[in-house]
């Protein structure tokens, strides 16, 4: 069965290395996996008063994409040792929408940073934040793209061989994790029937 992945980037910047990483994932997607990139650029700051008037169209759009997805891929920068507000804000909105579109689904996490640690600290914060959504993060492999400015070419291609291999391994593991979880779901339905 084909796996539909919703990719979410933590940076709105034109030329974002994390966005380039998601586009690279689209090019490197294994057979049987399609990757769509979510647009977080028009999601307003979370405000309970706004929610009380109805979820913004931008949030509903991403929630619908999440509901249609069988798996997720998040690529985030590290901002001050954590995840950027853009990503946290989107997660905050999406955690409030009815239907829990993330629940029970797998997520692979990656990060790209110009620094030497490749965004590792942000990834571990992200794992904590994702607990409430009840997604199932891949533990391994971990993918940290350090010195990102040296690993992407001017045309946006990820040229570093080790990083490309790491991305291949991450996507393959996400596919296997998705099939494992979907298999469990099928067994649970069969047992309940």
Q: Which residues bind ligand FNR (CB under 6 A)?
A: 11, 13, 16-18, 77-81, 112-115, 117, 119, 148
Minimum CB separation of residue 79 from ligand FNR in Å reads: 4
Q: For residues 99 and 113, give the distance between their C-alpha atoms in angstroms, rounded to a whole number.
A: 34
Is beta strand 3-9 parallel, antiparallel or unpaired with respect to 71-76? parallel
Which three-class secondary structure string do you get for the chain?
Answer: CCEEEEEEECCCCCCCHHHHHHHHHHHHCCCCEEEEECCCCCCCCCCHHHHHHCCCHHHHHHHHHHHHCCEEEEEECCECCECCHHHHHHHHHHCCCCCCCCCCCEEEEEEECCCCCCCHHHHHHHHHHHHHHCCEECCCCCEEECCHHHCECCCCCECCHHHHHHHHHHHHHHHHHHHHHHHHHHHHHHHHC
11 or 65, CB closer to ligand FNR?
Answer: 11
Minimum CB separation of residue 141 from ligand FNR in Å reads: 20
Minimum CB separation of residue 17 from ligand FNR in Å reads: 4
Minimum CB separation of residue 90 from ligand FNR in Å reads: 15
Minimum CB separation of residue 43 from ligand FNR in Å reads: 17
83 or 138, CB closer to ligand FNR?
Answer: 83
């Amino acid at each position: 069965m084909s796996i539909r992945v919703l990719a979410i980037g933590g940076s709105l910047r034109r030329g974002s290395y994390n966005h380039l990483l998601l586009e690279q994932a689209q090019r490197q997607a294994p057979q049987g996996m399609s990757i769509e990139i979510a647009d977080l650029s028009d999601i307003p700051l979370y405000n309970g008063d706004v929610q009380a008037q109805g979820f913004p169209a931008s949030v509903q759009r991403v929630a619908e994409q999440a509901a249609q997805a069988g798996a997720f891929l998040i690529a985030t920068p590290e901002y001050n040792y954590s995840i950027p507000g853009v990503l946290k804000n989107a997660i905050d909105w999406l955690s409030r929408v009815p239907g829990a579109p993330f629940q029970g689904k797998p997520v692979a996490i990656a990060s790209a940073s110009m620094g030497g640690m490749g965004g590792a600290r942000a990834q571990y914060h992200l794992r904590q934040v994702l607990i409430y959504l009840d997604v199932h993060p891949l533990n391994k492999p971990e993918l940290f793209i350090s010195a990102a400015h040296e690993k992407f070419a001017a045309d946006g291609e990820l040229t570093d061989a080790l990083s490309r291999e790491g991305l291949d391994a991450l996507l393959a593991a996400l596919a296997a994790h998705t099939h494992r979880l979907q298999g469990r779901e099928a067994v649970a339905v069969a047992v309940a029937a």
